[in-house]
A and B are shown apart, each in its own frame.
Chain A
Amino acid sequence: MPKVKKKRVGFTIDMTPLVDITFLLLTFFMFTAKFKSDAESQQKFTIQRPKVTPDTTTIPQNDLAVIKVAIDSVTLDTNYYYELSNETDREKVWNSIEGLNEEQRSSPQLKVSVEVLNQLVQNTRLVRANTKFAIDADRRLRFKWIDDAMNILRKNKATVFNFVTEKEGM
């Protein structure tokens, strides 16, 4: 005898548990989401950070000044970049540097020479003395680049700073 196919008109699944879980995940991701900074989305380089053993220290979030030393992905030359997270401070510091064009003035990150970097660090210290400094450099670079940056920090009496690193095995 052939099976009689049961009619399934108006068949519905209870979606409540699905919605529960989805909302839970959605809320979680919404609260943890941190968007890329303007500087990061504009830059034309990626920094391969030096690898160290995993640790819990993370980069400070407020009043942070980052000296980036990176290899340009197109031209392959090395440059210093300076990023300041605090917007009001940034405006003051950027204004104290001569010879910036309009576009550079509004950008959160500047491509700089060693001399200008020194000036920037100095002015940052003047504007806010407790600004935290970090050096974010590519692991393939010669130590010379980092040594020069460290000397600038030393000259400006910022003797405690951070090296941005990456967890080993990532």
Chain B
Amino acid sequence: MSGGGEGLSLGAKPKRGNSKRKVKKRVGFRIDMTPLVDITFLLLTFFMLTTTMAAPQVMEMSIPPEITEQVEVKASELLSFFVRDDGELFFAMGQDEPEKIESKEMVKKVKEISIRENLKPELENKLIVGLYVSTEAPYGEIVSILDALNQAEAVIVDKLSKDIDPETGKPKERKRRFTIAPLLEDQLNQIKEL
């Protein structure tokens, strides 16, 4: 519409009076847009209904590679979580008696324990977190525990990066040591009656 107006004013300028053609007035000129709108709405509805917005979320896992020889681990540097057949969760530091974690406060507790133990100065970057899972436990439960551990990991990395390593003078780096494995028989016996 504005284009039409401009053309009109240009044509009215006396300097351009050479051409004898008269600019036709097109005041109130309209195109019927209804078919256009019809088709556009049709396409819009189609794309709105077929589109799936977000790609699924993922949780990255890295597991220790297959090894043939046994690795010796200091019991004092091992934090174990056990999941029983019914999905009940227990934890033990080193060779302590396993303690039960109520499922209501699972996320909070797992976070708390993981942060506390991982940030002990003598265990920093040395602590191995092991998740020992009964093969009968529900998968959804395991992922919730992994999720809680990941949340704790974020806090640990944050805390460590604020400390300066006295040897290199740079912020401390986090080396995560984590493993997931099926529950062993003697571990199962330990938590069976709890």
A interface, CB within 8 angstroms of B: 12, 15-16, 18-19, 22-23, 25-26, 29-30, 32-36, 49-55, 57-59, 61, 134, 136-147, 150, 153-155, 157, 159-167
Contacts and interface: CB of A to CB of B under 8 A. Distances in A.
B30 A147 contact: no
**Interface SS of chain A: helix, strand, loop or mixed?**
mixed
A124 B55 CA distance: 23
Given A142-B136, A147-B135, A147-B182, A50 B36 contact: no
A170 to B, nearest CB: 9
A22 B37 CA distance: 8
A162 B180 CA distance: 14
A164 B58 contact: yes
Contact of B48 (A19, A29, A136, A161): A29
Given A22-B44, A166-B56, A52 B182 contact: no
B27 to A, nearest CB: 15
A49 B59 CA distance: 12
Contacts of B59: 52, 55, 57, 162-163, 165
A90 to B, nearest CB: 20
Given A15-B37, A34-B51, A50 B62 contact: no
25 contacts: A15-B34, A18-B37, A19-B33, A33-B47, A34-B51, A34-B52, A34-B55, A36-B52, A50-B140, A50-B144, A52-B57, A55-B59, A137-B139, A138-B139, A141-B138, A142-B137, A142-B138, A143-B142, A146-B139, A154-B65, A157-B65, A157-B66, A159-B64, A159-B65, A161-B60
A141 B133 CA distance: 13
Shortest beta-carbon contacts, A-B, top 6 = A139-B140, A29-B47, A50-B143, A162-B58, A144-B135, A52-B147
Given A15-B34, A29-B48, A140 B138 contact: yes
B61 A161 contact: yes
Contact of B58 (A30, A59, A147): A59
Nearest to A29: B47
Nearest to B59: A163
Nearest to B55: A58
Contact of A57 (B53, B58, B143): B58
Contact of A139 (B135, B139, B151): B139
B119 to A, nearest CB: 21
A53 B142 CA distance: 14
